[in-house]
Amino acid sequence: MSENENKRLAEVLKEICDSLTDEQKKKAKACKNEEELLKLAAQEGIELPDEIMDAITGGYIYYHKDNAPNIAWEIIDDKTGKTVNLRSNAHDAAGAAGAAGLSTKEITWDEVKKLRKDYEDSLKDGC
């Protein structure tokens, strides 16, 4: 990412932070990783701009019915099973994954859980 792109990304993040309520800021500070922040954004109905979403890579796409309707599609890391991106519809999710050279295959919740379990098992095995 170029210096100008990094600067713009920082500006967008500041705009998002400035728009949060005190309660949302407290919840965001309690998040331990990107995945938790993305889930919080989904729960709070905060639509993240393309600059933020495009800075995150992923693998598969998954419809998460519990997310807010405007960001119900998740892009899943194909190695860890973690959520790395959110989009409002399958077409946008597939487009974002495909643009990054990643799989656009739609997977089920069971497949997401298997990816996560396999990743956790690989950490235990020292892989």
| Residue closest to 81 by CA, chosen among 56, 60, 65, 106 | 60
> What's CA 50's distance to the chain center, in Å?
12
User: Residue 109: helix, strand or coil by DSSP?
Assistant: helix
Neighbours of 121 (CB within 10 A): 10
* pTM tops 0.85, yes or no: no
Q: How far apart are CA 44 and CA 49, in angstroms?
A: 15
Long-range contacts of 6-14 (CB under 8 A, 24+ apart): 8/51, 9/51, 9/52, 9/55, 12/49, 12/51, 12/52, 13/52
Whether 102 contacts 59, CB under 8 Å: yes
Residue boundaries of the structural domains of the chain: 3-124
* pLDDT tens sequence for the chain (127 residues): 556 766 776 777 788 888 889 999 898 888 776 667 777 887 888 877 766 665 655 567 778 777 666 677 888 887 788 887 788 888 888 887 777 666 778 888 888 888 888 888 877 765 4
